[in-house]
Chain A
């Protein structure tokens, strides 16, 4: 079955760190760019970060640049999001989403989504 499965969410204090994982199955993982998209409680969608199929090219929203790092291990069919210096405003459901190929970001749209993992940054 073609799917994405996120894990690693939880409760963390502001200033803390968390690493999210997204395990893929059912498709040629390294042939697709992947992104993280988040949704704060009761709010809209926000693109957070993305990377190419090889992992050589990475991209970030201004709101997380310098704090979050995206990476992937194509031998494990997994993409990661290392989140440091977490803020209250980072509280959200984090979705892993697949582009329909391995193209530059201006062509990205997301044809496969995981169910999401909840990150709560609170004291």
Chain B
């Protein structure tokens, strides 16, 4: 069982904004550890989308943005596009487990 909880699915029409939450605890996000986000298209390896809470690697559109507050973090996708259909995972560090941890994952569907 992951220590970072995400909604199993979110959906939106093209052009809309969707937000994915990542809820942790005082031993991970709440302890100040950074949160990172990955996109996994069907049948492919994960790809880094957001690092250190708010930063986008080169080539990632600015439609993707991240934030962190307290024991939670969020990924927002604005101007939703068909090619955004994928699974999204948050990742952080947990000092109880002494390990990197991933969220439960969220499937984004474009209606």
Contacts and interface: CB of A to CB of B under 8 A. Distances in A.
Interface residues of A, number: 25
How many residues of B sit at the interface, in one of the four size bands? 20 to 34
Interface in A1-60: 35, 37, 44-47, 50, 59-60
A47 B102 CA distance: 7
A44 B89 contact: yes
B46 A113 contact: yes
B40 to A, nearest CB: 8
Contact of A111 (B57, B87, B101): B57
A44 B2 contact: yes
Interface of B: 2, 33-34, 36, 38, 40, 44-48, 51-52, 57, 87, 89, 91, 93, 95, 97-105
Interface of A: 35, 37, 44-47, 50, 59-62, 95, 97, 100, 105-111, 113-116
Given A37-B46, A47-B99, A110-B91, 9 more contacts: A44-B2, A45-B40, A46-B102, A47-B100, A95-B46, A105-B93, A109-B51, A114-B45, A115-B45
